[in-house]
Amino acid sequence: MKTQLVALAVVAVLVSLALIGQSCGIWPFNGVVVVINNTGSIDYESCVVNVTGRSYDLGTLTAGDTLTTNVSPNGESHIELDLTEYSGSQHHLVVDCYFERRGYAGTIAVDLGDGQISNVASDVGIGFP
């Protein structure tokens, strides 16, 4: 009986910690990774990834390069990219995807081809990646 009570108490503590961690956004399986692949011929002086409530300045994105960042929006979100060419031309691109701050995990890969999105591969879901 004593062993069962100890086991039950351990399980209760672990479940409580998991729920608290998930609600605070620190559950180890939370998080969306954004991968930006420049498959075109244009070099970008600046690449900024925007999600709800946050921006991530990734810096230079040259032709053939890939940039990666973890994002954590403040709520429901999608991705918007702000790209600036060395010539000064600017591009604002909206990536067709959806995720939220809590409970979502996975990867969204975006292929850029000369100022346009050529492909989006989203492997994002709720729970374990």
- Residue 7 pLDDT: 58
Element (H, E) at 45: strand 44-51
Closest C-alpha among 125, 112, 123, 117 to residue 41: 112
Low-confidence ranges of the chain (pLDDT < 70): 1-2, 4-30, 127-129
- Residue 16 pLDDT: 55
- Residue 87 pLDDT: 95
- Residue 99 pLDDT: 93
- Residue 18 pLDDT: 52
Tell me which amino acid residue 23 is: S
- Residue 3 pLDDT: 72
